[in-house]
């Protein structure tokens, strides 16, 4: 079902916190914690698109959001979702990088949609506990409704000046967080990424297909435009939009996992 | 059909043009990502000596330096104490190319980019400086599996994939990146340049102004198309600058995009 940004009244204004690369998104009742492992080939940076600054391993918190987000919109099916109420595992209390998003966003939008040669991506005893969509996001936007003179978004621990972009009937501030490689890596790279991710979910028996299936198409999510996210912003570090066999996001296309009902 | 192998360096390097070869040197710069390969399929690479070999040697004569080059050049005769350090982390050894050209041309807010006692000895400081540098080899024979050129390091090798570009040109483009994917701050170009002078070229007293002048414009070099190089390939790791202006609160400025994030100029040293 298509998204529907507010169509009447003042120009809608959104903050989009956009994660590129493989992450664990642990959704607690009042916040989302984003866990990032230490992956040698990946570089981590955050900021306005193409002006991002490198990030050192640390905890980074989104602050300054005062507008009520109401109840979060139901999750888009184009995510890998693991319900913590239905499967036994432990979310690591520490991670190499951690981004804390509070409050919960208005919605989570999958971006840079990938289709693979194989529908089956995950293996292991717990693979059946995770939704395995045929098309899934290579990037994820945590989108907040914001208002001028009310919200002052900042990423604590990071020097970032929010930049307002005015588009067609929408204003937006987009904060990009990359954890990717700018270069082509070996075919088992996505598997190593995924293993590093799953290590943060102790007790899960989960792996990715080896080698990871090839990407057959990469399509920007058209629904993101109404929230002020351009097509280019849905790509990876090298923002390549055409599907081709071994280019970003192929170079680090291990899927991210959304963990719901985290406690 | 004309066939070219184009070797394109992105980022700050020291290019030493000898009578019989070109040496390309770079220090190992923190936060710069080194990668080598065909466009958008580059692989990460590590400090080493990389040599470009042609199984059938090319008979290129002395390199012709253009009348209005788009790169900063030094004549070694004017620097009696100049010493090119053979300990550079990254070293590329190339045969003499058939042509050399600046790519990804930057127009700066000021052409006064150097300070230091040797500023006046710099041979050329162009109005537009190159953010990437091309060494192009016209190959006078048909390339097959037995005579493919190869770039080789200790654990790395690359062989060209020829692509037909238009009806008259076939080209294989080898990209070598030494750039950051992220913004490293206004003083980054000056720091990188200083590191290059310290670790690669001694005996030349030259520094960059800090902060480095603003980049007003990025233009692809139109001459590169005839050699089989697209405009996109003249950009940096993050591509060519987008034609967008963002509004900062209280001010307006263009994007700080590559090559701005690592736009310390390269130096071309001509030895006799």
Task: Give the pLDDT mean for A245-251.
Answer: 62
Q: Is the pLDDT of residue B25 over 80?
A: yes
**Helices of type H across chain B:** 188-199
> What pLDDT was estimated at residue A248?
62
CB A65 within 8 A of CB A175: no
Q: Which of B189-198, B210-219, B231-240 has the highest mean pLDDT?
A: B189-198
CB B11 within 8 A of CB B178: yes
> What pLDDT was estimated at residue A8?
56
Q: Residue A124's pLDDT band (boundaries 50, 70, 90)?
A: very high
**Helices of type H across chain A:** 189-198
> What pLDDT was estimated at residue A197?
95
| Structural tokens at position B249 | 């609160």
> What pLDDT was estimated at residue B60?
82
Q: Is the pLDDT of residue A246 over 60?
A: no
State the Cα–Cα distance between residues B11 and B167, nearest whole angstrom: 31
Q: Residue A20's pLDDT band (boundaries 50, 70, 90)?
A: very high
Start-to-end CA distance of chain B, whole Å, equals 34
Tens of pLDDT, residues B30-48: 999 999 999 988 999 999 9
State the Cα–Cα distance between residues B247 and B257, nearest whole angstrom: 15
> What pLDDT was estimated at residue A247?
61
Q: Do B238 and A166 touch (CB under 8 A)?
A: no
Tally of domains within chain B: 1
Task: Give the pLDDT mean for A228-238.
Answer: 90
Q: How many of the other CB atoms lie within 10 Å of CB of A50?
A: 26
Q: Is the pLDDT of residue A238 over 70?
A: yes
> What pLDDT was estimated at residue B256?
47
Q: Residue A12's pLDDT band (boundaries 50, 70, 90)?
A: very high
CA distances from B3 to B56, B61, B101, B161, B171 (A): 14, 18, 17, 12, 6
CB contact B163 to A (< 8 Å): no
> What pLDDT was estimated at residue A249?
65
Mutate to test the interface with B, among A46, A49, A50 (most CBs of B within 10 A): A50
Locate the domains of chain A by residue range.
14-260
Q: Do A182 and B35 touch (CB under 8 A)?
A: yes
Say which DSSP state B265 is in.
P
> What pLDDT was estimated at residue B32?
95
The label of the residue with tokens 């989570």 reads A108
Q: Is the pLDDT of residue A225 over 50?
A: yes
Tens of pLDDT, residues A83-116: 999 999 999 999 999 999 999 999 999 999 998 8
DSSP state string for A113-128: EEEES-S--EESTTGG
CB contact A43 to B (< 8 Å): yes
| Structural tokens at position B69 | 């080059």
Mutate to test the interface with A, among B29, B30, B40 (most CBs of A within 10 A): B40
> What pLDDT was estimated at residue A245?
55
**Cα B263 from chain centroid?**
11
How high is the mean pLDDT of chain A?
Answer: 91
Q: Do B35 and A54 touch (CB under 8 A)?
A: no
Q: Is the pLDDT of residue A7 over 50?
A: no
Say which DSSP state B81 is in.
T
Residue of A nearest to B176 (CA): A183
| A189 vs B48, residue with greater confidence | B48
Q: Is the pLDDT of residue B245 over 50?
A: no
CB B41 within 8 A of CB A244: no
Task: Give the pLDDT mean for B214-219.
Answer: 81
Q: Which domain holds residue B257?
A: 2-270
State the Cα–Cα distance between residues B169 and B214, nearest whole angstrom: 36
Start-to-end CA distance of chain A, whole Å, equals 30
């Amino acid at each position: 079902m298509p998204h529907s940004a507010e169509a009447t009244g003042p120009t809608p204004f959104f903050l989009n916190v956009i994660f590129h690369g493989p992450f664990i998104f642990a959704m607690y009742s009042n916040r989302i914690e984003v866990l990032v492992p230490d992956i040698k080939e990946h570089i981590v940076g955050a900021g306005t698109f193409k002006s991002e600054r490198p990030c050192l391993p640390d905890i980074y918190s989104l602050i300054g959001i005062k507008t009520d987000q109401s109840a979060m919109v139901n999750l888009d099916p184009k995510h890998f979702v693991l319900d913590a109420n239905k499967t036994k595992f432990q979310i690591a209390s520490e991670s190499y990088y951690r981004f804390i998003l509070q409050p919960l966003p208005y919605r989570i939008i999958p971006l840079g949609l990938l289709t693979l040669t194989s529908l089956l991506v995950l293996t292991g005893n717990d693979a059946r506990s995770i939704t395995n969509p045929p098309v899934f996001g290579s990037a994820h936007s945590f989108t907040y409704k914001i208002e001028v003179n009310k919200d002052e978004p900042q990423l604590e621990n990071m020097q970032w000046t929010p930049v307002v972009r005015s588009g067609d009937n929408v204003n937006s501030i987009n904060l990009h967080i990359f954890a990717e490689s700018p270069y082509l890596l070996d075919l088992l790279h996505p598997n190593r990424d995924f293993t590093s991710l799953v290590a943060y979910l102790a007790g899960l028996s989960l792996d990715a297909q080896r080698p990871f299936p090839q990407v057959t198409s990469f399509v920007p999510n058209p629904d993101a435009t109404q929230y002020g996210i351009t097509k280019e912003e849905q790509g990876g570090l090298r923002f390549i939009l055409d599907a081709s066999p071994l280019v970003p996001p192929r170079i680090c296309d291990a899927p991210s996992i959304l963990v719901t009902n985290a406690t | 059909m004309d066939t070219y192998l184009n070797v394109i360096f992105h980022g700050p390097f020291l290019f030493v043009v000898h009578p019989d070869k070109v040496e390309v040197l770079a220090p190992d710069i923190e936060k710069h990502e080194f990668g080598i390969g065909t466009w958008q399929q580059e692989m990460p690479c590590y400090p080493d000596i990389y040599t470009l070999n042609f199984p059938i040697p090319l008979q290129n004569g002395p390199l012709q330096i253009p009348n209005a080059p788009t790169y900063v050049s030094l004549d070694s005769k004017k620097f009696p104490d100049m010493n090119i350090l053979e300990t550079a982390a990254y070293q590329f050894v190339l045969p003499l190319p058939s042509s050399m050209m600046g790519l990804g041309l930057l127009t700066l807010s000021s052409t006064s980019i150097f300070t230091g006692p040797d500023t006046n000895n710099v041979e050329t400081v162009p109005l537009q400086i190159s953010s990437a540098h091309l060494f192009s080899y016209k190959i006078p024979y048909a390339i097959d599996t037995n005579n493919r050129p190869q770039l080789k390091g200790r654990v790395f090798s690359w062989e060209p994939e020829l692509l037909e570009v238009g009806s008259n040109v076939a080209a294989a483009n080898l990209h070598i990146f030494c750039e950051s994917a992220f913004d490293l701050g206004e003083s980054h170009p000056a720091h990188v340049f200083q590191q290059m002078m310290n670790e690669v070229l001694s005996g030349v007293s030259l520094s960059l102004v800090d902060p480095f002048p603003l980049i007003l414009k990025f233009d692809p070099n139109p001459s590169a198309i005839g050699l089989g190089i697209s405009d996109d390939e003249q950009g940096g790791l993050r591509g060519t600058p987008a034609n967008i202006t963002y509004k900062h609160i209280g001010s307006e400025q263009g994007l700080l995009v590559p090559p701005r994030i690592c736009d310390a100029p390269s130096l071309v040293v001509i030895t006799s």
